[in-house]
Amino acid sequence: MSKSAQRILFAFLCLGILTVSFDSLAQYGYGGGYGRQGGFGNRGGIPQAGQGETRRRDDGMDPEKIAEEDTRWMTKKLKLSEEQLPKVEDLNIKYAFQRFDLFEEIKKATNNGTMPPSDEVRVKIREKMQKMKVDKDNDMKAILTPEQYETYQKKRKD
């Protein structure tokens, strides 16, 4: 495989990962500043998600901020109950950190993007992304009402 083809494959893989990991940004109103303030960042954090450590991506996309924006959107658009809100917050932070960890794994496997990933690495990452998506959907389905879940699914596909 030529070097340019490898770079194109690497770019495609990164784009796919970013699309999956940030699918909520556009649909969920990233940066909109509406909804209830979440319990992330300097407001307490969720210990099981980050184990008390601060982890941030090099490009400034903080998993806690992403999870907070997801929760804000869901609070507003899905009209989460007081009982649902902490459960949704926990799930959003859990999966934001899983995406962060996957992104770090990709960086490590590609020497910070200087080498294309092997076919084996691409397959493993794709499988992990798909499993993460299915797991999150199943977890959300257990928390949300059928109507809320339908809205959640519809917005994610937009």
Q: Give the number of C-alpha atoms closer than 13 A to the C-alpha of residue 48, restricted to the C-beta side.
A: 7
Does the pLDDT of residue 55 top 80, yes or no? no
Specify the residue for token string 């959107």.
73
Residue 95 tokens, joined? 């999966």
Q: What does the mean pLDDT of the chain come to? A: 75
**Residue-range definition of the domain harbouring residue 147:** 3-157
Q: Is 30 helix (H, G, I), strand (E, B) or coil?
A: coil
Does the pLDDT of residue 122 top 60, yes or no? yes
DSSP for 34-47? -S---S-GGG---H
The pLDDT tens digits for 97-116 are: 999 999 898 888 888 878 88
- Contact (Cβ atoms closer than 8 angstroms) between residue 29 and residue 69: yes
- Contact (Cβ atoms closer than 8 angstroms) between residue 33 and residue 77: no
The pLDDT tens digits for 56-102 are: 545 557 899 999 999 999 999 999 999 999 999 999 999 999 999 99
Provide the domain count of the chain: 1
**Predicted local confidence at residue 155, as pLDDT:** 84
**Predicted local confidence at residue 64, as pLDDT:** 93
Q: Could you give the CA distance from residue 47 to residue 132 in angstroms, rounded to a whole number? A: 20
Residue 78 tokens, joined? 């899905």
Q: Could you give the CA distance from residue 143 to residue 94 in angstroms, rounded to a whole number? A: 15
**pTM listed for this prediction:** 0.62
pLDDT interval class at 117 (50, 70, 90):
confident
Query: In whole angstroms, how far apart are CA 151 and each of 2, 66, 78, 113, 127?
Result: 44, 19, 7, 36, 26
